[in-house]
């Protein structure tokens, strides 16, 4: 079954305030605003890369809001539809939150190694 969900375009112009994109890796630099506009645009840009494996690194975040979860689930579905791998990297504190949401089958994630 194919998802027709389209990632939206955020209002406003300019560069990213909360994200960094390099090749096939999108990194959240700090806590994201509640709305998911910048994350949506970041995911769209991520899919423009030719990398077969894409990474969304949320290891610096303590929390993600429901609009952001929706964006991540949509990005995961889009990756699957296009035959790509989307790796979501989170910190251990965020894993507890995500586990409570019971997104098994919709969103796979791995725990970032702690800084030494």
Sequence ranges of the domains in the chain: 20-111
Question: Tokens 């790796």 sit at which residue?
Answer: 87
Give Cβ neighbours of residue 59 (< 8 Å, ≥ 6 apart): 89, 90, 91, 112
Query: Residue 34: which pLDDT band, with cuts at 50, 70 and 90?
Result: confident
Query: Residue 103: which pLDDT band, with cuts at 50, 70 and 90?
Result: confident
pLDDT of residue 116: 46
| Spatial distance between the Cα atoms of 91 and 98, rounded to a whole number of angstroms | 11
pLDDT of residue 98: 84
Map the chain to HEC letters.
CCCCCCCCCCCCCCCCCCEEEECCEEEECCCCCCCCHHHHHHHHHHHCCCCCEEEEEECCCCCCCHHHHHHHHHHHHHHHHCCCEEEEEECHHHHHHHHHHCCCCCCCCEECCCCC
CATH number for 20-111 (one of 3.30.750.24, 3.10.20.30, 2.70.70.10, 3.40.462.10): it is 3.30.750.24
């Amino acid at each position: 079954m194919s998802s027709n969900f389209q990632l939206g375009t955020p209002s406003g112009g300019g560069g990213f305030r909360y994200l960094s994109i390099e090749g096939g890796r999108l990194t959240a630099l700090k806590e994201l605003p509640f709305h998911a506009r910048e994350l949506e645009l970041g995911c769209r840009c991520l899919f423009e890369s030719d990398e077969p494996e894409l990474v969304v690194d949320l290891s610096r975040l303590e929390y993600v809001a429901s609009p952001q979860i929706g964006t991540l689930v949509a990005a995961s579905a889009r990756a699957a539809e296009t035959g790509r791998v989307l790796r979501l990297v989170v910190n251990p504190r965020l894993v507890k939150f995500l586990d409570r949401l019971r997104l098994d089958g919709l969103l796979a994630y791995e725990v970032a190694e702690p800084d030494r």
